[in-house]
């Protein structure tokens, strides 16, 4: 059966040239089938046919054929021949990848293929003067709004290459917060939104902007590191008003220099009572034909005098409820104003813009 299949495939390969291209594809497909069935020798035979100059195979088909041939040689424990096939494939297609074929020879395919890739790249690497480099342009000092501000990062490779930009804390470059790629050939800027992977604004501090370029031939530039310093810009806050001066308040009481007139009334009244007590309460039989009690007059005079002194030297306080109400309103209004300012200031600090300064990029 196996021999019959090979004969059939060889016969197909020997068909007229007009069908050569299609025959190459058939041979390669057949070889793939044989590889999957662990028939490395059969696969090699078909591929040798596909790689003959008159097979009509395209470059892509030839690359594919070399790769499969190398796999077949690995299966046949012939690594030198396999690497030679891989080299041919890589010389035709430097960026060729074989990851999808790893299952055919999982033990050594990637190792051998990539080793050969290194050798090919080294052999075909451009001269030092032509080494891929990347420059990155960053604003020296800019201020960004936290809502939609983006730090423009402009990578410029020395030749056509894609540029990968990553941002990480300067003291922990492995902890990448953000990354983006500028496609090869594209110009312009990438914009970091100043946020980490969790979407939260990163705290003020030093951050490294790491830029690497990679071209289609596998050339990789050295990583360029620029450090930017993030800080919160001064918030536009309001100065809280000074505490209300005592003069701002109206007096809530009125000090009246004289005592209440009732002091006089009480003094005079009690004095009169003292003077009149003997005659008012005493029995006429006891008071008749007797002189008045002088001691009562002494006390009466004393009490009256006390009332007069109290009125003249005393003072009283008259409450002014209208002023007290107005003062209370003033205090409430002042407290409300202070709270509003404090709230606005807190919001302003929370939304304060972020200043980004390029370290070593300016004065």
Partner 1 sequence: MQRTVLVALALVALPLSAAAQGLAGGAAGFNVQRRVYHQGAVYEQTGVWYGASGSALLGPVRLGLSGLFGSLGGGGPQAPDLTIRATAVTLHFAVAPWVLVGAQAEARRFEADAGVTSWRLIGANVRLEPGLGLAGLTGLADVSVLPASSVSGGPSLKMAMQATVGVGFAPAGSHLGFRLGYRFERYDISASGTSPERYEQFRGIVVEAGIRLGR
Based on the shown chain and the rule CB under 8 A, indicate whether residue 307 belongs to the binding site for partner 1: yes
* Burial class of residue 55 (count of CB atoms within 10 Å of its CB; 0-12, 13-18, 19+): buried
Q: Which long-range contacts (CB under 8 A, 24 or more apart) does 82-89 make?
A: 82/112, 83/112, 83/115, 83/116, 86/112, 86/113, 86/116, 86/117, 87/116, 87/119, 87/120, 89/62, 89/63, 89/64
User: How many residues lie near partner 1 (CB under 8 A)?
Assistant: 35
CA 6 – CA 18 distance, rounded (Å): 21
Phi, psi of 268 (to 5 degrees): -65, -40
Residue with smaller CB distance to partner 1, 5 or 310: 310
What is the number of other CB atoms lying within 10 angstroms of the CB of residue 192?
25
Residue whose C-alpha is closest to residue 56's, from 100, 12, 96: 12
User: What residues from 239 to 258 belong to the interface with partner 1 (CB under 8 A)?
Assistant: 258
User: What residues from 170 to 229 belong to the interface with partner 1 (CB under 8 A)?
Assistant: none
The residue range among 27-35, 189-197, 243-251, 312-320 that interacts with partner 1, by the rule CB under 8 A, is 312-320
For tokens 């090869």, what's the residue? Answer: 184
Q: Which of 78, 135, 223, 302 binds partner 1 (CB under 8 A)?
A: 302
Residue with smaller CB distance to partner 1, 127 or 280: 280
Q: Which helix (H) or strand (E) holds 53?
A: none
> 178-182 and 162-169 as β-strands: parallel, antiparallel, unpaired?
antiparallel
Q: Which of 25, 112, 259, 356 binds partner 1 (CB under 8 A)?
A: 259
Q: Output the smallest distance, CB 271 to partner 1, in A.
A: 8
Based on the shown chain and the rule CB under 8 A, indicate whether residue 84 belongs to the binding site for partner 1: no
- Give the 3-state secondary structure of residue 30: helix
Q: Which of 29, 309, 324, 348 binds partner 1 (CB under 8 A)?
A: 309
Residue with smaller CB distance to partner 1, 156 or 306: 306
Based on the shown chain and the rule CB under 8 A, indicate whether residue 329 belongs to the binding site for partner 1: no
Each residue 260-299 as x (binds partner 1 by CB under 8 A) or -, in order, gives: x-xx--xx--x--xx--xx--xxx-xx---x--x-xx-xx
**Residues of the shown chain interacting with partner 1 in the complex, contacts defined by CB under 8 A:** 258-260, 262-263, 266-267, 270, 273-274, 277-278, 281-283, 285-286, 290, 293, 295-296, 298-300, 302-303, 306-307, 309-311, 313-316
């Amino acid at each position: 059966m196996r021999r019959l299949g090979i004969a059939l495939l060889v016969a197909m390969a020997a068909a007229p040239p007009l069908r050569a291209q299609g025959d190459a594809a058939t041979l390669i497909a057949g070889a793939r089938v044989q590889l999957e069935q662990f028939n490395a020798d059969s696969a090699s035979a078909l591929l040798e046919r596909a790689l003959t100059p008159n097979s009509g195979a395209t470059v892509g088909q030839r690359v594919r054929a070399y790769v499969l041939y190398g796999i077949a040689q690995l299966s046949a424990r012939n690594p030198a021949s396999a690497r030679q096939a891989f080299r041919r494939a890589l010389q035709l297609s430097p960026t060729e990848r074989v990851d999808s074929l790893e299952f055919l020879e999982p033990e050594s395919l990637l190792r051998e293929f990539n080793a050969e890739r290194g050798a090919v790249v080294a052999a075909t690497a451009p001269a030092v003067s032509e080494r891929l480099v990347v420059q990155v342009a960053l604003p020296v000092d800019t201020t960004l709004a936290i809502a939609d501000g983006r730090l423009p990062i402009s990578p410029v490779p020395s030749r056509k290459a894609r540029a990968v930009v990553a941002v990480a804390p300067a003291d922990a470059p492995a902890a990448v917060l953000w990354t983006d790629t500028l496609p090869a050939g594209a110009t312009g800027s990438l914009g970091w939104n100043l946020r980490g992977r969790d979407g939260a604004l990163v705290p003020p501090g030093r951050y490294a902007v790491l830029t690497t370029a990679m071209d289609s031939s596998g050339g990789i530039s050295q990583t360029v590191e620029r450090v930017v310093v993030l800080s919160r810009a001064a918030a536009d806050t309001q100065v809280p008003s000074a505490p209300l001066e005592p003069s701002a308040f109206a007096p809530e009481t009125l000090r009246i220099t004289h005592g209440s007139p009732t002091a006089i009334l009480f003094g005079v009244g009690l004095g009169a009572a003292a003077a009149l007590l003997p005659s008012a309460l005493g029995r006429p039989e006891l008071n008749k034909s007797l002189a008045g009690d002088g001691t009562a007059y002494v006390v009466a005079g004393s009490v009256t005098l006390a009332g007069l002194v109290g009125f003249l030297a005393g003072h009283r306080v008259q409450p002014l409820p209208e002023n007290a109400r107005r003062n209370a309103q003033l205090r409430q209004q002042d407290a409300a104003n202070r709270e509003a300012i404090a709230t606005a200031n807190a919001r302003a600090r929370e939304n304060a813009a972020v200043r980004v300064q390029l370290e070593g990029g300016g004065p």
